[in-house]
Amino acid sequence: MKKGILSLFLLFMSISAIAQLRLNFGKDSPSRKLQIAEMAINKFYVDSVNEQKLVEDAIQGMLEKLDPHSSYSTAKETKSMNEPLQGNFDGIGVQFNMIEDTLVVIQPVVGGPSEKVGILAGDRIVVVNDTAIAGVKMDRSEIMRRLRGPKGTKVNLKIVRRGASGHLSFVVTRDKIPLKTVDAFYMIRPGVGYIRLSSFGLTSAKEVLEALTSLQKQGMNSLIFDLQENGGGFLHAAVEIAGQFLPKDDLIVYTKGRVAPREDYKALGGGKMEKGKLVILVDELSASASEIVTGAIQDHDRGIVVGRRSFGKGLVQRPINFEDGSMIRLTIAHYYTPSGRCIQKPYRKGDLKDYEMDLDKRYKHGELVNKDSIHFDETQKFYTLKKHRLVYGGGGIMPDFFVPLDTAKYSKYYRQLVLKGLVINTSLKYIDVHRKSLKASYRDFSTYQRSFKIPQELIDNIIKEGEKAGIKAKDDKEMVKSLPVLKLQLKALIARDIWDMNRYYQIINEDNDVVKKAIEVITK
């Protein structure tokens, strides 16, 4: 037993070096009590137990009694969770999708290992290192595991290509593949740029800077910065990005906790866009780092916020890493916008279910469609720093211009087609057959955007696939209502697969109510 306690002590000492914890291992110590309980269960319990799972369950049990954002993740979960924010991964460098049970390359990453050896859009990868991955209903995650691997390692691929007989063989040397967090940037109107950021990762600040530089070269003097559905990420990325819009020494955010002292984060100055009109777009899924940037811009009266009330996450998590790769993300502080508001929405400790149902409650209460249904805590009044406009803490960030969710735009028939994956899968099949002719007919995106019309054959195929799945429009009126939205989505999906995600948003944004309102505000 002494050896077990010593091992626990050494483990906690290694964590202490990271998290600067002070632990008490005296005879009345809760930590000692927990360790003795674990060892007793493992040694004397009537049935065999998985000690690893026992400890993990105990950790999760403790964290569940705290706030909704303190959490434990296994080594596998930690790797999966961190990868999108790390800026890269090791692999072969293809964007792909599954058509039925076959991997089809949508686009090889420009300059990536697959493009270098001659793999093309439309190619089907059917064998990886002598293992068939097509026609065997292999799980997508297992396919990705086989394609990925350490930089410098080689993978043998067999590919089926339209117009070529038999299998084509390629040897691809895996390399670092960049993961972009800027989904799109382009000139949305003369003089007005648009940037959409999906998350705040390690490379996000650099990506945003590059996008701003490119847009300014194209004549941008005003910007729409789209943070809709952006769930956040790294604090330092939010600070760097906000610093592109604010003058030197403007406070961006400060953090403070029971143990953690107040720490201020200020703009360094020299940002690419300290002047010029700025509109930030948010919705109910914009959280954490998104709210830091939005709160700073709103509090300094630097720009206008358009959209719907943001998620409301004002808690700071600190990672505590274990040697096996697992991790605790422990809430250690609140963050506060420059005016002093904490935008964390209310929660009851240990009641994660109620917290997770918040967005559902907003929908049912009409908050997503009616501004007057939103009620803030009157004790959480704050004022912006220059124009002294009233803003509220304690429940997300309320936009300056509210744009209701248009629940009538999407018919039940259309939503069912999307949820079943029939829209995207049928469009992929169409592109797979017509890729060459589309590229020959539309050599540039502007021609495509201006003149391409969705062929009736594609609509008919989706309707047929829907009928096979038991999905039908209830009447002609519902079908007529569904077609314009369906055609726009298909046009955007085809553009994405022929060009890139940037082109997808150039099409889809023309019917986005929040974006349209932003254009109206910024061009006044």
Active site residues: 288, 313, 317
As a whole number of Å, the CA-based R_g of the chain is: 26
Determine the distance from the C-alpha atom of residue 509 to the mean position of all C-alpha atoms in its chain, rounded to a whole number. Answer: 18
Residues 248, 234 contacting (CB under 8 angstroms) = no
Gap between the Cα atoms of 425 and 430, Å rounded: 9
Residues 173, 152 contacting (CB under 8 angstroms) = yes
- CA distances (Å), 251 to each of 183, 265, 303, 336, 353, in order? 28, 6, 15, 10, 35
Judged on CB neighbours under 10 Å (0-12, 13-18, 19+), 376 is middle
- Strand 168-173 and strand 71-73: the pairing is unpaired
Gap between the Cα atoms of 221 and 190, Å rounded: 9
Residues 188, 518 contacting (CB under 8 angstroms) = no
Q: How many CB atoms lie within 10 A of CB 507?
A: 21
510: DSSP letter: G
Residues 193, 223 contacting (CB under 8 angstroms) = yes
Handedness of CA 485, 402, 188, 205 (dihedral sign): negative
- Strand 304-307 and strand 277-282: the pairing is parallel
Gap between the Cα atoms of 501 and 288, Å rounded: 24
Write down the H helix ranges in 333-444: 352-356, 358-364, 412-419, 422-441
Gap between the Cα atoms of 330 and 67, Å rounded: 9
Tokens of 25: 């291992």
Which residues partner with 256 through β-bridges? 334
Amino acid at 388: H
